[in-house]
Each structure stands twice: as structure tokens, then as C-alpha cells.
Amino acid sequence: MRRHLDLEREILLAVEADEHVVGENVDISGIEGYSAHQIGYQVGLLRQAGLLEAIDCRSDDAPFEWHPRCLTMAGHQYLEAIRDPEIWRKTKEGASLAGSFSIDLLGKLANGFIRTQIKKHTGIDIE
């Protein structure tokens, strides 16, 4: 199964927005356009990348293979970098032009666009 960058972003946004008690599963059933298998798989990938904590439900009769619990600090930082829809669009375009990318590189690319915006608005060059 392939990665779905937009779905990964939607999952991170949904986990952040959920007001659940830490340690309980986050409800991600509201994400539309993807199968439960696709969503569960992407949650597992985000867990492997260290962006969120998730519980393995593959042996249960759960609708998703993985259930997210909460974002990690790395997940919050990555989401801050890709939160803005315009920055996200530019990040995906830049990654597409490169032909290959990782979560780490996507975050760095998004942060590069953010630094450019900061310099444009403040004149301060952040390295």
C-alpha cells in the first residue's frame, strides 16, 4: 500500500483537534475518502515515524489496524510546519519535483517555506 500524504496530514490534524483523555483512542472515523484499511495503515506509518502514539488493533475486530492516541512532540512540530494549506501545497509540489522524499525532508521543506515567509514579512533571515 502506498503512502497518502494528504491523509497523513488529515490524521495529524484530527488527532490534534480531538479533545479525548490522553491514553484513550482518538476517533478518526470522520476522515472521508479513504478506507478503514488505508487510514489504519497510515496511522501505523505515522507511529513508525515517531509523529504519534498509537495502539495496535490488528488482532481485534476493530475498524482500523492502528488507533492513534496522541501526537508526540515531533508530531506537533511537523504539524506546525505543514498546517497552513498554502505551505502544504508548496511542500507537496516541491517534494514531487524532487521525485523522492521522507517525512523528515517534507518537514524541512515546509520549514524552508515558513522561513521564507518570515523573512518576507519581517525582513529577518532565520537559519
Contact 36, 7 (CB under 8 A): no
Asked if 79 and 71 touch (Cβ cutoff 8 Å), the reply is yes
What are the sequence ranges of the domains in the chain? Answer: 5-72, 84-122
For the cut 90, the answer to whether the pLDDT of residue 118 exceeds it is no
Strands (E), 16-109: 52-56, 66-71
pLDDT of 60 above 80: no
Calculate mean pLDDT across residues 31-58: 91
Q: What mean pLDDT comes out for the span 63-84?
A: 89
Give yes or no for residue 49 having a pLDDT over 70: yes
Encoded amino acid at 82, one letter: I
Confirm if 70 and 82 have CB atoms less than 8 A apart.
Answer: no
Does the pLDDT of residue 48 top 70, yes or no? yes
Closest C-alpha among 13, 23, 36, 28 to residue 69? 23
